[in-house]
Amino acid sequence: MKILVTGGCGFIGSHFIRVIFEKRPDWQVVNLDALTYAGNLVNTLDIQTHSRYRFVYGSITDKNLVNTLVSESDIVVNFAAETHVDRSLMDNEPFILTNILGVQRLIDACVKYGKRFHHVSTDEVFGSLGPDDPKFHEKTPYDPRNPYSATKAASDHLVRAAIHSHALRGTISNCTNNYGPYLYPEKFLAIAITNIMENHPISIQGDGRQIRDWITARDHSLGILAVIEKGQIGHTYMMGGNAELSIANTARAVIKAMGARDEMLIFTQDRPGQDRRYAIDYTKINIELGWKPEVTFEQGLEQMIDWYRQNESWWRPIKQSSGYRKWYEENIGRLA
């Protein structure tokens, strides 16, 4: 079996490749990645010399390259995406190109060569939940609230259209907030952990009552593996971590786990279009495929903190780069 993983140098994609090598010893992996700011070869240092691994530098918007790689593969799993809401608010063009045009390139190639396709999406396409609303599920109407989620919603619809119009052998999964080793330090938990290590405060946008559901990237990857092997063609599967926490309480959990002071938590102006709550009902994938998250938030957070403590050589150069510091100061707050 040869699997084409797009965006495999990114956070979740690199975790998925490790799960493949661990769980499927006869599978070959081809990783196509454009190495944008969040796609880093360092994320895959431990697998780059693997005998069943091949890296290809390029974009999913490159029609000829995509056609070649898809024709040589059995399964295509798409992680490639521009993902950060704050960046989409500043410049939406990269999101439109990758998340819409790039996905259509993959769809066209999979239809042309008759390949199995799985598209990795997000819970943000469903908009925002109120405190007492039922969790997102497979029938929840789409209601994207920012350029990032709008482009992801568009790509989901393109996949479904191809399933119905062109017999694409496709599936979709929507997942809640991922965390764990290699999380790029513009995402909240990675910023929180590394800021505490640098004796900088954790900055929260708004009142901190926004609720997120947390899942480890490894648990998410195990769910995707279950879907591509056992999922029903044309179906969507939702994955959540069963770990709803407010952003403020998430920050307090980091502070407590790292032995920091409560005053390390500060509040700033909220960003435009902030969704109040995300939460996912994963009943369907649990009943049909036997998947559920294996790691509690407390366990996953401890593992993540330990990894960041042991891998300063990975995250410090990112945070010390001029581009990162400019982005942080413009969007989060000043670094000391």
What gap in Å lies between CA 252 and CA 17, rounded to an integer? Answer: 32
- What token pair was written down for 19? 């799960």
Strand order in the sheet with 177-179: 177-179, 211-216, 244-246
What gap in Å lies between CA 95 and CA 147, rounded to an integer? Answer: 8
What gap in Å lies between CA 239 and CA 136, rounded to an integer? Answer: 10
Query: Identity (one letter) of the amino acid at 304?
Result: M
Positions marked active-site: 123-124, 148
**8 A C-beta contact, residue 80 and residue 101:** no
Nearest of 65, 59, 69 to residue 39 by alpha carbon:
59
Give the list of residues 6+ apart from residue 215 with CB closer than 8 angstroms, or none.
Answer: 175, 176, 177, 178, 179, 239, 240, 241, 243, 293
- Give one word for 310, left, alpha or beta, with left for phi > 0 and alpha for psi -120 to 50: alpha
Q: What is the DSSP letter of 43?
A: G
What gap in Å lies between CA 170 and CA 116, rounded to an integer? Answer: 6
Give the list of residues 6+ apart from residue 330 with CB closer than 8 angstroms, or none.
Answer: none
Question: What are the backbone angles phi and psi of residue 296, rounded to the nearest 5°?
Answer: -75, 165
* Full DSSP string of 212-270: EEEEEHHHHHHHHHHHHHHPPTT-EEEE--S-EEEHHHHHHHHHHHTT--GGGEEEEPP
